Structure 1
Amino acid sequence: MLLTLQNYSLKVIYKPGPEMYISDILSRATAQCTGRGTAYQWHAICSLQQINQADYLNVTDHHLAQIRQHTDKDEHLQSLKSMALAGWPYLEEGTPFTVREYWTIRDEISVQKGILFRGQKVIIPKSLRPEMLTRIHSSHIGGDACYRQARETLYWPNRQAEIKDFVSSCTTCNEHDLEQQKETMMSHELPTRAWQIVSMDLFSHRQNDYLLIVDHNSDFWENELLPDLSAETVIKRCKAQFARQSQPDKVITDNGPQFTAQFKRFVSEWEFARQSQPDKVITNNGPQFTAQFKRFVSEWEFDHVTSSPRHPKANGKAESAVKIAKNLLGRALRDSNDPWKAIVQWRNTPTKNKDSSPALRLLSRRMKPAIPVANKLLKPCVIVGVTDELRHRKQLAKCFYDRTARDLPELEVGETIRMKPLPGDHTGLWRLGTCLQKVAPRSYLVDVGGPLYRRNRVDLCVAEQTNQNTPYTHLDELDHSPGLRVRGAELRQKEEDDN
């Protein structure tokens, strides 16, 4: 039509309908229907009038009658039915408050045999929602999956929130909870000199036990072969390393028994003498870092920071160094080489994305390697800018790590929690308990029955109010159960009002 009109130069003038006399009269003079119509036309009209969505619900007639019955008893849905049949007001303000939440979907609501529909979705009466929630979550799939299932067939206001609350309060799901969302990276403070902050850990390799101490500033690590795992042996090796390297300001360890009482006296005496005495020593929570280690800490006077058990990330510096040490020892022993030569070679190797080696950053000189080297390269050479470079690397790592991480809310003392299953617990059940104390950032002391446990926040989750004791109400029983408990947001609000 547009191509045909291109041959003409048209002038379009707007006129109201009452002024367009000819076209207005012709539009009102509709042609009269002649004849009685064919059999096909009458059949099509009859079939169209007989289509009813209620006839196509995949439920028994008995349950269909119950849905209709409880729809009739629901005052809000009765008001909604009247609005759907009689027509909605022109403005939302004229809509009764009880059905105002349906205003945005008013064009989709219909009434079929006494049952309300939103499109092809059944609008569930309030008294039937508890069982619908139970049916939706009968296979104990996640909250999002339950909502995706329900949104295709069922509808009621605030449906998604109620499904989420119901799933989060499911006892079975809470006992078999999955891993929690990882939290944002929390880095240790930056050292300003070598051997100021060190991390410790114990590891075993081919039936031999070792103590590993790693410097946070240079990445230089020392490992000591231990004849036994007693606290006295660990403390003797620590003293030898601190005398050779430096007395640290902070020592980070795990929470083992070797790093407690006796080690604390050592810390107090030495005030955190092999490299230099460090200012801080960081270990995990292993048994070597508890009772006697506490006396060691007290004697040598350095800060002793322990990490949460079963959370190696908190002592990641030591864990990373242990991985490197095991790799070097394993390959050297396999080739019948001297493992100490392998360690010297690693210390002389420049770190990835850096221009200096751990030995150069700690000792300000290269160690004599097994390969030819000029004498000039073995002379002292001070490396500057180590702290700034370390700060940049930490900031960059945190930036990328935090993209998929978020902080979990802190736990309150006395709050009911669930703890991640213990190692060897094949049931996989998260144990119910109580938060007793906040020991350190993201680290809590909890009671789950029996001994007390210290755990990181990612191993603890808030125990939602369970619906295990809420009676299951079948459709056949709803006529005799007027006092049904409504889960989700309404139940929570009611309990807050009662308290």
Structure 2
Amino acid sequence: MLQIQPYDLEFSYRPGTEIAVVDTISRLHLPDIDKKLHREIEVCVHQIAHALPVSNARLEEIRLHTKEDEHLIYLREAIQGSWPNARKQCAMDLLAYWNLQHELSYMNGIIFKGERIVIPRKMRPQILQQLHVSHLGMEKTKQCARMLVYWPKMNGDIKRQITNCPTCQKHSCNNQKEPLMNSQIQLVPWQQVASDIFDWNEAKYLITVDYHSHFFEVNLLKNLTSKEVISKLKSHFAQHRIPHTIISDNRTQYSST
């Protein structure tokens, strides 16, 4: 799992009835463990551990509590040894990690889930306080936690932490959502259009979309100057010779005739 993290994979399922020839090799895996692969995984985990934005004192504290945590002791033994063959054979302390067994690793006294540290039980309230020290809100706090730490039912603990926070409850009504900007229904084509700039294949393009018909035009841009963009837009307006309203990507309206 650690080796394929740099890649963006897409998986597709095909029923066995649609496979003409059975792929024997994928079903008859080698029973031996590749020692070279195991060594590469250790190097990868070491690199992750050294790059963590955590002080040495805090890592030592996590290491100490991991050693004393009864649940993590069972988890460490399963990672270093072997997991049960079936979920029903799994101990209660390991059930929460059963679906994550291929993402877990143990290095230098700390358990990792991918690049995230598995936090012992005694340290979780302290970590929750640090995650919410800036009162960022529900989603921001969860995003911050998912970048560095992990423990079972972490999202639920974060939700309870924020729900019971007096400061968050006091100021929650002050963060009103911006009202939705409704667009008027256009009666004729090209009465109102939207435009934006995007990258594709190392080139810049301008896309212009008609609100009425959803028809779009794409132009290759030589550069990103306003003169170049205006020139491309005028070429479309000249074809129709009617007033237009442009909605750019920042929702600012312009008129052109």
TM score, norm. by length of structure 2: 0.50
Shift of 1:60: 2.0
1:149-179: CA deviation from partner (whole Å, max 9, x where unpaired): 1112111001001000000111111222316
Shift of 1:13: 9.1
Tell me which of 54, 63, 74 is aligned to 2:58.
63
Shift of 1:55: 2.2
What amino acid sits opposite 1:123 in the alignment?
Answer: V
The 3-state SS of whatever aligns with 1:72 is helix
Partner of 2:169: 174
Using a 3 Å threshold, how does the CA distance of structure 1 residues 48 and 122 change in structure 2: closer, same or farther?
Answer: closer
Is 1:148 paired with 2:143? Answer: yes
Write out aligned runs for 1:141-220 (5 A): 141-178=136-173
Using a 3 Å threshold, how does the CA distance of structure 1 residues 130 and 49 change in structure 2: closer, same or farther?
Answer: closer
Shift of 1:94: 1.0
Identify unmatched segments of 5+ residues in structure 2.
Answer: 1-19, 31-37, 177-257
Using a 3 Å threshold, how does the CA distance of structure 1 residues 180 and 95 change in structure 2: closer, same or farther?
Answer: same
Shift of 1:48: 7.2
Tell me which of 87, 91, 116 is aligned to 1:121.
116
Shift of 1:68: 0.3
Q: 2 CA distance for matches of 1:125 and 1:46?
A: 27
Conserved? CA contact 1:110–1:118, under 8 Å: yes
Partner of 1:480: none
1:230-251: CA deviation from partner (whole Å, max 9, x where unpaired): xxxxxxxxxxxxxxxxxxxxxx
1:76-118: CA deviation from partner (whole Å, max 9, x where unpaired): 0110010011011110011111111110111100001110000
Partner of 2:83: 88
Tell me which of 97, 103, 115 is aligned to 2:98.
103
Using a 3 Å threshold, how does the CA distance of structure 1 residues 121 and 68 change in structure 2: closer, same or farther?
Answer: same
Shift of 1:129: 0.7
Q: 1 CA distance for matches of 2:55 and 2:43?
A: 20
Conserved? CA contact 1:81–1:111, under 8 Å: yes
What amino acid sits opposite 2:162 in the alignment?
Answer: V
Using a 3 Å threshold, how does the CA distance of structure 1 residues 82 and 46 change in structure 2: closer, same or farther?
Answer: closer
Is 1:75 paired with 2:70? Answer: yes
CA RMSD of aligned residues (A): 3.0
Q: 2 CA distance for matches of 1:91 and 1:46?
A: 27
Shift of 1:54: 2.3
Write out aligned runs for 1:457-472 (5 A): none
Q: How high is the sequence identity, in percent, across the aligned residues?
A: 31
What amino acid sits opposite 1:60 in the alignment?
Answer: S
What amino acid sits opposite 2:79 in the alignment?
Answer: A
Q: 1 CA distance for matches of 2:167 and 2:21?
A: 72
The 3-state SS of whatever aligns with 2:53 is coil
1:395-452: CA deviation from partner (whole Å, max 9, x where unpaired): xxxxxxxxxxxxxxxxxxxxxxxxxxxxxxxxxxxxxxxxxxxxxxxxxxxxxxxxxx
What amino acid sits opposite 1:117 in the alignment?
Answer: F
Using a 3 Å threshold, how does the CA distance of structure 1 residues 172 and 105 change in structure 2: closer, same or farther?
Answer: same
Write out aligned runs for 1:245-260 (5 A): none
Conserved? CA contact 1:142–1:167, under 8 Å: yes
The 3-state SS of whatever aligns with 2:134 is coil
Identify unmatched segments of 5+ residues in structure 1.
Answer: 1-11, 18-27, 29-44, 182-499
Q: Report 1 or 2 for greater relative contact order, CA contacts < 8 Å, sequence distance ≥ 6.
A: 1
Conserved? CA contact 1:147–1:160, under 8 Å: yes
Conserved? CA contact 1:121–1:152, under 8 Å: yes
1:39-87: CA deviation from partner (whole Å, max 9, x where unpaired): xxxxxx9887544132222222222111100001110011001001101
Using a 3 Å threshold, how does the CA distance of structure 1 residues 163 and 48 change in structure 2: closer, same or farther?
Answer: closer
Using a 3 Å threshold, how does the CA distance of structure 1 residues 66 and 180 change in structure 2: closer, same or farther?
Answer: closer
The 3-state SS of whatever aligns with 1:107 is coil
1:321-367: CA deviation from partner (whole Å, max 9, x where unpaired): xxxxxxxxxxxxxxxxxxxxxxxxxxxxxxxxxxxxxxxxxxxxxxx
1:251-275: CA deviation from partner (whole Å, max 9, x where unpaired): xxxxxxxxxxxxxxxxxxxxxxxxx
Structure with larger Rg: 1
Conserved? CA contact 1:123–1:155, under 8 Å: yes
